[in-house]
Amino acid sequence: MRVWFLSAGLALMCMAQNAAAGTVLIVGDSISAGFGLDTRVGWVSLLEQRLKREGFDDTVFNASISGDTSAGGQARLPALLAEHKPELVILELGGNDGLRGMPPTQLQQNLASMIDSSRASGAKVLLLGMQLPANYGKRYTDAFAEVYSNLATEKNIPLVPFFLDGVGGHPDLMQADGIHPAAGAQDKLLENVWPTLKPLL
């Protein structure tokens, strides 16, 4: 009888762990797609390794596409939500909007729509903020950066204020194009995200 109870207890523990396991959906651009890198060294792969190392059973699905904008992500999101039914959506978009000089108001509308859609599906949302180089002009760069803080406040969602903090502006951590993080920066990207991400799992 005692053996039966132990076996039943172990089975229940396994069921509880499986029930707690979920899907983390990452919708981003080239930074999360690992442009110019072996994807096995990208920050998303490092995240998967860290989850396993720390005992999380969550599955990570990386739906990031190089060159994607917030409009592209918004268009792709409904199908991704329907297919993967994530418990957490990480939004890493906006950099290409900014580099193309798109209106910050449009970026904010697109991201707001993605946040609302994700929540309506039952998922939590983590927003990764971006900033632009100073040569885009203070007025534009300030308005761009404020999009993320405005959304975090308005939607009451967790925010990583600047995903590339400690990476952008450091030539040794960037690829030759000066835009994409190098392999040596991927650990730092994960460290920028992890403290805000972990409580959401």
Q: How far apart are CA 129 and CA 60, in angstroms?
A: 20
CB 31 within 8 A of CB 60: no
Q: Which residues are catalytic?
A: 30, 177, 180
What distance lies between CA 82 and its chain's CA centroid?
18
Q: How far apart are CA 124 and CA 115, in angstroms?
A: 9
Residue 24 token pair: 């983390």
Q: How far apart are CA 65 and CA 100, in angstroms?
A: 16
Residue type at position 38: D
CB atoms within 10 A of CB 37: 19
